[in-house]
Amino acid sequence: MTLRTRIVLTIALWMSMAGGASRAAGEPWAEAGQDQPKLELVMKIVVTCASPEAVAPTSASKDGQRQEIWPILGGRFFGKDIRGTVVAGGGDFPVTRPDGVEVIDALYRLRTDDGVTIIIHNKGLAYPAAKPEDTRYRLVPEFIAPQGKYDWLNRYVFVSTLVVPVPVALQLAKGPNENDRVIEVYRVL
């Protein structure tokens, strides 16, 4: 067998193992997942922010355009066997990358009703829609919890959504210079 024949057969084998990699562009992909993850809602976080602060004198940064920062004033969170408050002092630091994608980047603390402080770094992307109110946000929160009752937050992968406007029953903002958002946190199983 010639080297050329071996190369052609190897490429054909790779393509057949790739589950139809030889199909034409635009054809639907009919592969089924072998281990599809499931999502379990574990927590809702209502974060209250102040009006955004403009970044000055320029919005240019090394990772894109950072035009405003949203200071976190507080909030609350609740879930199965966990509840408490959002600690004032964190922030949401969105940036628009050079490719036009908006990155959400929030860092703040949660304090449980029994006094445990948990750090959350929630980072993800905005998926713009034709109408701004239909924009979707998909984030990947990372928790840093001390050993003990809440250290399960350190041992899973989570995804979250950012929901605005906030349903009336969950609103906490008091006045025109405050606004809320709901973070729904899902554990990936």
Task: List pLDDT tens digits, range 37-73.
Answer: 999 999 999 999 999 998 877 777 888 888 899 999 9
Give me the numbers of helices (H) and strands (E) for the chain, helices first please.
1, 12
CA distance 166 to 184: 11
Bond from prior residue into 141 cis (ω within 30 degrees of 0):
no
The stretch 11-32 carries a mean pLDDT of: 63
Show the domains of the chain with their CATH numbers. Answer: 39-188 (2.40.160.20)
Catalogue the long-range contacts made by 130-137 (C-beta closer than 8 Å, 24 or more residues apart): 133/165, 136/161, 137/104, 137/161, 137/162, 137/163
- Check: CB of residue 92 under 8 Å from CB of residue 72: yes
Higher local confidence (pLDDT), 25 or 159: 159
Q: How confident is the model at residue 23 (pLDDT cuts 50, 70, 90)?
A: low
Q: Does residue 151 contact residue 128 with C-beta atoms inside 8 Å?
A: no
Q: Is this structure's pTM higher than 0.85?
A: no
